[in-house]
Amino acid sequence: LFSTVEMAPRDPILGLNEQFAADTNPAKVNLGVGVYYDDNGKLPLLKCVVEAERQMLEAPKARGYLPIDGIAAYDKAVQGLVFGADSDVVTGGRVATVQAIGGTGGLKIGADFLKKVNPDATVLISDPSWENHRALFSNAGFPVGTYPYYDAENRGINFAGMLAAIDAAPAGTVVLLHACCHNPTGYDITGEQWDQVIASIKARNLVAFLDMAYQGFGDGIAEDGAVIGKFVAAGLDFFVSTSFSKSFSLYGERVGALSVVCASKEEATRVLSQLKIAIRTNYSNPPTHGAQIVATVLTTPALRTMWEDELAAMRVRIKEMRTLLVEKLTAAGVQGDLSYIVRQKGMFSYSGLNKDQMVRLRGEFGVYGVDSGRICVAALNTKNIGYVADAIVKVM
Ligand code: LMR
């Protein structure tokens, strides 16, 4: 049965972790996967999470099956965070929200549901995009194309190209958009540009699917989520997948959600029933622990403030690392304008290094980034940044 099974390539992002773990270089630095580490290079355990777990331990609960769509209080808290508790779509019952296994789970449930209601559509992702977007929608049965995004020459976004591609897409096309902190480039379009994208999506009858895995890592929780309000204001039906992996440093708990904004409450009820089928046939129902932590934090005012402060501290530290990286690269002799590193948002910097240079960074220096040139600046710290900058300069 398995004699002709081919060896699959290593995952371009998570596969690096395996290679990193096996590397014996004592100076190695993992800038591959999108994970935030503190200034001591440690994965943080947020205080709000510890406190929520302490409260959960004080009133221990047996672990029955959750409803297929997850913990009700969690789904409600997600809606409050993503849309605002007072948003018309929330108070009007027009959003179908389900707990999902991380942001990836939200994308997958959305993709499976879309394949049923919009089977002949093409999915457009940004060029470049998170490596898993293409694979995930392809596996759900969609042809996946791209819209222009990164402008290598000008170190920014080819917005004219992006808009032209969206304008040219046939009705029903699913357009996958990064709500904030674009992965992998770190370049986000402006509010005005969002308005143009939304107008085009509306005029062309396209389907927007927003991936919001990094809310709070750009300019702030509200600022990063502002684009959602624009889609709501435009009166569109759309999808939003959210993740708390990064913002709660709960990577291993796989806490995410999918929200589908519908035209009416009645429509949302029908959509929810279909999302539940997608969940049931993929993994039956979601796990309890991580979502309970997030629900507790988001609905307990003191814990929520604590979380917002801890997330702000992560955001600020990443920005400091961006500035410091520019300083170190400049001091190490790199010529030219490096301000793009500070302009980029979120965990990543698209360094402009090519695959050969990334391979050299790994092989010669134990500095791991993605072959596309993406490096995770959230894993830089005051101790490793000088070493990383020197290594980058040597491969340039
Ligand atoms: C990343 O892009 O590194 C993260 O989203 C983690 C992942 O699953 O790829």
Residue 36 and residue 98 in one domain: no
Domain end among 299, 322, 356: 299
- State how far the Cα of 4 lies from the Cα of 339, in Å rounded to an integer: 50
Q: Give yes or no: residues 232 and 244 share one domain.
A: yes
Q: Which of 275, 299, 323 is the last residue of a domain?
A: 299
pLDDT value at position 257? 98
Which residue in 82, 348, 114 sits closest to 209, CA to CA? 114
pLDDT > 70 fraction of the chain, expressed in percent and rounded: 100
Count other C-beta atoms under 10 Å from residue 211's C-beta.
Answer: 26
Residues 96 and 190 in one domain: yes
My answer on whether 215 and 272 are in the same domain is yes
d(CA 137, CA 109): 10
Print the domain residue range for 314.
Answer: 14-45+303-395
In this model, does residue 74 exceed pLDDT 90?
yes
ipTM confidence: 0.95
Cβ 34 under 6 angstroms from ligand 1: yes
In a domain, 57, yes or no: no
Q: DSSP letter for 132, please.
A: H
Q: What is the mean pLDDT of residues 266-277?
A: 98
Q: Would you say residue 307 has pLDDT above 90?
A: yes
Separation of 33 CA from ligand 1 center, angstroms? 5
Ligand 1 pocket test, pick from 130, 182, 217, 241 with the greatest ligand atom count within 8 Å of Cβ, gives 130
| Phi and psi, residue 125, nearest 5° | -115, 165
Vertex 174, ends 272 and 122: CA angle to 5°?
A: 120
Residue type, 256: G
In the chain, % of residues over pLDDT 90: 97
Dihedral of the CA atoms 341, 344, 345, 350 (nearest 10)? -80
Do 119 and 107 share a structural domain? yes
**Does residue 323 share a domain with residue 208?**
no
The arithmetic mean of pLDDT across residues 313-341, rounded, is 94
Q: Helices 72-83 & 289-299, crossing angle to 10 degrees?
A: 50
Token reading at 320: 């400091």
Does the CB atom of residue 378 touch ligand 1 within 6 A? no
CA of 94 to the centre of ligand 1 (A): 30
Quickly state the pLDDT bin for 267 (edges 50, 70, 90): very high
Provide the H-helix boundaries in 41-101: 47-58, 72-83, 88-91
CA of 91 to the centre of ligand 1 (A): 33
Mean pLDDT of 80-105: 97
Residues 6+ positions from 74 with CB-CB distance below 8 Å = 99, 257, 291, 292, 294, 295
- In this structure, the answer to whether residues 324 and 261 fall within a common structural domain is no
Q: Best substitution site from 129, 132, 372 to test ligand 1's pocket, by max atoms within 8 Å of Cβ? A: 132
- Contact (Cβ atoms closer than 8 angstroms) between residue 70 and residue 291: yes
CATH number reported for the structural domain that contains residue 107 in this entry: 3.40.640.10
Q: Which residue has the tokens 């960074």?
A: 361
Rounded Cα distance, 376 and 72, in Å: 34
**Alpha carbon nearest to ligand 1 atom 4, residue:** 34
- Whether residue 359 has pLDDT greater than 90: yes
To the query of whether residue 307 is one of the catalytic residues in this protein, the response is: no
Mean pLDDT of 66-76: 98
Atom 8 (ligand 1) nearest CA: 14
> Does 189 score more than 90 pLDDT?
yes
- Phi, psi of 146, rounded to the nearest 5 degrees: -130, 160
Cβ pair 361, 16 in contact under 8 A: no
Give pLDDT, residue 303: 98
Is 287 a domain residue?
yes
Residue 272's pLDDT is what? 98
pLDDT band at 183 (very low <50, low <70, confident <90, very high): very high
In this prediction, residue 347 carries a pLDDT of: 97
The region of weakest confidence among 11-20, 85-94, 201-210 is: 11-20
Burial degree of 2 (CB within 10 A; 0-12, 13-18, 19+): exposed
pTM assigned to the model = 0.96
In this predicted model, what pLDDT tens digit does every residue of 112-133 receive, in sequence order?
Answer: 999 999 999 999 999 999 999 9
276 & 336 share domain: no
Cβ atoms within 10 Å of 323's Cβ, excluding its own: 11
Strand partners, 127: 148
- Tens digits of per-residue pLDDT, 204-223? 999 999 999 999 999 999 99
What contacts 180, CB < 8 A, 6 or more positions away?
188, 212, 214, 215, 217, 218, 224, 225, 227, 345, 346
* Residue 58 belongs to a domain: no
75, 112, 188, 246: the active-site residue: 246
CB–CB of 240/258 below 8 Å?
A: yes
Q: Stretch 225-254: mean pLDDT, rounded?
A: 98
Given a cut of 90, whether residue 336 has pLDDT beyond it is no
Is 202 known to be catalytic? no
Q: How many domains does the chain have?
A: 2
- Average pLDDT of the chain to the nearest whole number: 97
Strand ranges inside 187-336, DSSP E = 207-212, 238-243, 255-261
214 and 332: one domain? Answer: no
Residue 51 in domain: no
pLDDT of residue 128: 97
pLDDT of residue 167: 98
> How large is the average pLDDT for residues 85-96?
96
Contact 187, 152 (CB under 8 A): no
Q: Is the pLDDT of residue 335 over 90?
A: no
Closest by alpha carbon to 112, among 146, 147, 136, 82?
136
Residue tagged 């406190």 (tokens):
51
In a domain, 338, yes or no: yes
Rounded (5°) CA angle 215-217-221:
50
Estimate to the nearest angstrom the gap between the alpha carbon of 124 and the chain centroid: 17
Boundary of a domain, candidates 250, 269, 299: 299
Give distance in angstroms: CA of 34 to centre of ligand 1: 5
The pLDDT tens digits of the residues spanning 17-68 come to: 999 999 999 999 999 999 999 999 999 999 999 999 999 999 999 999 999 9
Q: Are 197 and 81 within one domain? A: yes
CA distances from 222 to 179, 180, 213, 314 (A): 12, 11, 14, 16
312 Cβ contact partners less than 8 Å away, ≥ 6 residues apart: 216, 220
pLDDT at position 145 = 98
pLDDT band at 333 (very low <50, low <70, confident <90, very high): confident
